[in-house]
Amino acid sequence: MKAPTHVTNHLEALGLRPATVHYNLTPPALYEHALARTEGRLAANGPLVTRTDPYTGRSPKDRFIVKDARNADSIHWGTVNQPTDAATFEALQARMVDYAAQRDLFVQDLYAGWDDTYRLPVRIITEKAWHSLFAYNMFVRPEGPPADFEPGFTVLDLCGFTADPARDNTNSEAAIFVNMADELVLIGGTHYAGEIKKSIFSVLNYRLTEHDVLPMHCSANKGDSDDTAVFFGLSGTGKTTLSADASRTLIGDDEHGWSTDGVFNFEGGCYAKMIDLTREGEPEIYSTTERFGTILENVIIDEETREPDFTDDAITRNTRGSYPLHYIPNASDTGQGGHPQTVIFLTYDAFGVLPPIARLTPEQAMYHFLSGYTAKVAGTERGVSAPKATFSTCFGEPFMVRHPSVYAEMLGDRIREHDAQCWLVNTGITGGPYGTGHRVALAHTRRMVDAALRGALDATDTTPHPFFGVGIPHSVDGVPSDILNPRNTWEDPAAYDDQARTLAEMFVNNFAQYEDYVSEAVRDAAPTVQASAVDA
């Protein structure tokens, strides 16, 4: 489609002088361009296979936000939200504009957010056809060509542009620069498509709180009676897997807002991890890998049959699949749900300490939300080659622009207002620490989550964890009782106690940074390092 005048005028205002503008192309046209330009390969049954190495995950150390008088006191500056100035941004933009001169550019006009009240119009400009297809998959697609589309934010992704740290004040050849005032994101030096969607997620995390909307790094689904559930968690903890439940309607798998009317998805697609994917284990997600329009990032394919090998991590373990939300058979056609009745925090506990499921009080929920304990899974970020215990506040620290207490207070208020049941679910290691223990069986996790969603655990008896105080259910239908208390799964209970005490100390030390921002009740939800687990 030929770019309308208002689009070309906008590109000119940005200083862009492309050879050709490919505007709002459909997936078949984008496939043709991507294959002709050798950006990817065709896999059996139709997916487009691409590579992004050496950047096979987000590059958080390369993201900067322009600091100005309007946001100086409202952004939580530090190693996550690194400040830069307008002059540096403008100089980088000028260099990227020069790089883009007389190149073909692909433009998609889309939306972030299904709720008309809060949606953000976004214009995604890329030099790669497959990045334009990624944007088409991941954002909300308008019904028909938008006649008078005015972007509320623009992303300029020139992945072939290489930043110069000495000249551009970056930390590497990659650059992700966000300018809130100019409503512009610059991405260069990395082919990893996830930077496109996560940059807009960060913008929404900043803006929506001003409209009493809680932005959340979570998946969401709902039952037949509109009983909505949200699943918080970092990459690799099971957000996509557990929310893609054939018995429930999928609202979305990664980014949502909780407004005064309920939950709405920010995205129009899913960005699922593909490593070790099987038809038997995750049939809904597996089916998307056999469809035209799906992008398989860094997935190895057989040279003769072109069949994907989801067990092959030769490039990275952070292999990804991008596909429209409607590729999941039970996906919502509105992207919205009611107020959550169930809030689940997913964690990958590499220490093997936390229970596979535990009930949380509202105060414990706020404590664990602020703590955001998990383990970074190999390949999720550049430089992470093995699981590493970490604390990522709000279960999404890399994307949270304001102080974490802002989001925690909003979550706590909503949990209490709507009487939501809260659960901590460990999808990580049991029976010992990482390397000795094993991952909690997915079938068991599914049964526990299903029981929580059905309300089957609301009245069940629980025992407080001796170190963390969370309520361990005595039984869950279809799950061996001896795995519910993690101490029972270790050969040496004393070794478990030592490990639990170590993890508790990590929680306490990490939470010290938030103690001045929370109530005494939330501070009292902290684990104790002096517990005795003899009677656990």
For the residues of 243-298, what is the DSSP string, one character each? H--TTSEEEESSEEEEETTEEEES-SEEEEE-TT--TTT-HHHHHHTTSTT-EEES
Q: What is the dihedral of CA 346, 351, 356, 359, to 10 degrees?
A: -70
For the residues of 407-457, what is the DSSP string, one character each? HHHHHHHHHHHTT-EEEEEE-SEESSSTTTSEEPPHHHHHHHHHHHHTTTT
Which residue among the candidates 197, 198, 317, 501 is catalytic per the annotation? 198
Residue 2 annotated among the catalytic residues of the structure? no
Round to whole Å and give the CA distance between 205 and 403. Answer: 11
Residue 240 annotated among the catalytic residues of the structure? yes
Round to whole Å and give the CA distance between 100 and 102. Answer: 6
Round to whole Å and give the CA distance between 327 and 47. Answer: 12
Which residue among the candidates 191, 222, 239, 339 is catalytic per the annotation? 239
Round to whole Å and give the CA distance between 138 and 156. Answer: 16
Residue 217 annotated among the catalytic residues of the structure? yes
Residue 10 annotated among the catalytic residues of the structure? no
Which residue among the candidates 254, 349, 450, 497 is catalytic per the annotation? 254
Which residue among the candidates 52, 240, 294, 430 is catalytic per the annotation? 240
Residue 393 annotated among the catalytic residues of the structure? no
Which one, of 258, 275, 274, lies nearest residue 266 by Cα?
Answer: 258
Single-letter amino acid code for the residue at 171? N
Round to whole Å and give the CA distance between 532 and 501. Answer: 10
Q: What are phi and psi of 120, to 5 degrees?
A: -110, 120
Which one, of 389, 368, 392, lies nearest residue 377 by Cα?
Answer: 389
* Cα torsion 528, 479, 395, 319: sign: positive
Which residue among the candidates 191, 217, 368, 487 is catalytic per the annotation? 217
For the chain, what is the total number of helices (H) and then of strands (E)? 13, 30
Which residue among the candidates 10, 33, 58, 339 is catalytic per the annotation? 58
Calculate helix-pair angle for 194-207, 129-138, nearest 10 degrees. Answer: 40
Which residue among the candidates 10, 95, 191, 320 is catalytic per the annotation? 320
Q: Find out whether 310 and 275 touch, Cβ atoms under 8 Å.
A: yes
Residue 58 annotated among the catalytic residues of the structure? yes
For the residues of 350-391, what is the DSSP string, one character each? TTS-S-SSEEE-HHHHHHHHHH-EEEEPTTSBTT--S-EEEE
Round to whole Å and give the CA distance between 429 and 467. Answer: 18
Single-letter amino acid code for the residue at 414? R
Which residue among the candidates 235, 332, 347, 374 is catalytic per the annotation? 235
Residue 273 annotated among the catalytic residues of the structure? no
- Residues forming the active site: 58, 198, 217, 235, 239-240, 254, 320
